[in-house]
Amino acid sequence: MRDGGLLLEFLLVSPLLLVSLVLHELAHGWVAHVLGDPTAKAHGRLTLNPVDHLDTWGTVMLVVTFLGSGGAFFFGWAKPVPVDPRYFRDGQRGMALVGAAGPLTNYLLAVAAAGLIWLVHTRSLFLLEMCWMLFVLNVILGTLNLIPIPPLDGSRVVGGFLPRTAYRRWAELDRYGNFVFLGLFMLMLLVPGFYQATFGRVLRLFTLLLPGGWFG
């Protein structure tokens, strides 16, 4: 499949990416709901329906970067789940838990994909490739979202450990979210080796979960 057409690869990757993004956002909403915030449920976001989670520009960016890079990398985002920290007993720590839930879900999906790879790697090349793509997608999504820059999930986790006065200023940086996404995209596009030096390193660490040899 790695030697196949790029369009075919994209068609195969798309449903895996949808599942990964939907479960990521659903995890945010579910944790917020458990902590007492009804906002995600009220907005219909506690659902597995991908249409309710997709962001128009984030989806366009995914398509453009994947096809434009020849499948070498992708960059995009889903529609953020609405969360109101005023419902939490401790809004700052509650947001940290909500933020951590998305990337943790992606990493758990990557571990599950690694387990499937162990089951199928000697049986079916097609299933092996599909599980490998699911593995890679979720390692990258989890790592991307853990970058500690507002409005990414990692900033919520970091915010949980900041003094309250500093946290308010930190949260205000969310307004520059579009510039953050643009800056990360430009780095991956213009700086040779940035992708491999960052996401690639994390991915190589996760490959320790896989049977040796086939992916190298």
Phi, psi at 100, each rounded to 5°? -70, -25
The question of whether 9 is a catalytic residue gets the answer: no
Catalytic residue among 9, 25, 129, 172: 25
Residues 6 or more apart whose Cβ sits within 8 Å of residue 67: 6, 7, 10
Whether omega for the bond prior to residue 151 falls within 30 degrees of 0, making it cis, is: yes
Active site residues: 25
